Amino acid sequence: MVLSYRSVRFSVLSFVLIFIFLGSVKGQSAPPSVSPELAYRIEAMLRSKVDFPPASSISFGARSPGEVPGYDRIVAHFSSSMSTQKGDISLLVSKDGTRLAQFNTYDISADPKSTFSAGDRPARGGPPTAPVVIVGYDDLECPFCGRFHAELFPALTNRYGDQVRIVYRSFPSEGHPWAMHAAVDTDCLGTESAPAYWAAVDQIHAHAAEYGGTERSLVKAEQQLDAIVTNEGRVFHADEAVLHACIKKQDTTQQNTSIRSGIELGVSKTPTVFINGAKIDGAVPITFVFEMVDKALKAEGIAPPMSYQVKQASPVAPHLPVNTINDRSQ
């Protein structure tokens, strides 16, 4: 697989050392700079592994002490004569010049939970002080999301009670015709009433396949969504005039901001959830969610429940094809 120069520079996967055999060099000790012979072998390897911009020239800085015993740090500089693209690739070379490695360090001093707080989103489950916060990026038209949603809440409530607090952030796909409209409607309702928001989300997910009728009419689907959200607003005593005005306006600013924030955090498909900051992609088995929540509780110094049971009659979308996952990277 050919890697892009961006991935070599920035990918978190480069945390793992990748050793590549380069052959042997003459001499007893590491030279103060990269010799032409060693530079050429490193460049040949890089050009076979990295997708550089066209007509890129590569040069190397001087050696400096590396973080790993037996290795020096060098920086490969590249620039293209055919474009303005340029950059640096930080590398480690062994003292004897026989191996090359890439090693990056990352600041993990901050609590990842703080990045994924509930904020002002409608929350469900435990109180704001709950030790575990689950932030989910959700598409209301996504079949996988609907099945995951149906199993997630009762399973978490039964096992953890008030130890888990859950919020959704909107991540409607361009490939789902009424998903954005549903996100706007429910978010309008969420500013008026959190219980009403969740009631509408529950209903929409449960009946997503029915909206638009057999003819799959977008106009009809949007009318049905408006009616559901309006009705839940009445049940939970939301300000009907404010809610109606918000639904009619269909301002997507909030939803587009949510999509951008998700992409910045590495979200490419729905459902994606963050459990105290740890990302989980796709509609995974609920037992795996339990495993991650247990780890989050232990990290907070709290012992997780001893045992659990999951109904085996309704697994999470076992028969849905992979392409039903909403993937914005495609």
pLDDT of residue 108: 83
Q: Are residues 175 and 310 in the same domain?
A: yes
Identify the domain containing residue 81 by its residue range: 3-101
Query: Can you give the pLDDT of all 330 residues of the chain as single tens digits?
Result: 444 444 444 443 343 333 333 443 344 454 457 898 999 999 999 998 888 988 999 999 999 998 889 999 999 999 998 989 999 999 999 999 999 998 777 888 888 777 766 678 999 999 999 999 999 999 999 999 999 999 999 999 999 999 999 999 999 999 999 999 999 999 999 999 999 999 999 999 999 999 999 999 999 999 999 999 999 999 999 999 999 999 999 999 999 999 999 999 999 999 999 999 999 988 889 999 999 999 999 999 999 998 655 554 344 333 333 233 344 544
Tell me if 58 sits within 8 A of 76, measured CB to CB: yes
Q: How far apart are CA 315 and CA 170, in angstroms?
A: 24
**Residue 117: what pLDDT?**
67
| Integer Cα distance of 79 and 86 in angstroms | 4
- Could you count the other beta carbons within 10 Å of the beta carbon of residue 30? 18
Dihedral, 146, 147, 149, 151 alpha carbons, nearest 10: 160
**How many structural domains compose the chain?**
2
What pTM was computed for the model?
Answer: 0.70
pLDDT of res. 113: 76
Residues 46 and 124 placed together within one structural domain of the fold: no
Task: Tell me the C-alpha to C-alpha distance, in Å, between residue 159 and each of 30, 288, 305.
Answer: 58, 13, 7
Do 61 and 208 sit in the same domain of this protein?
A: no
| Residue 155 and residue 284 in one domain | yes
Clarify whether residues 82 and 136 are in a common domain. Answer: no
Residue 94 and residue 119 share a domain? no
97 and 156 share one domain? no
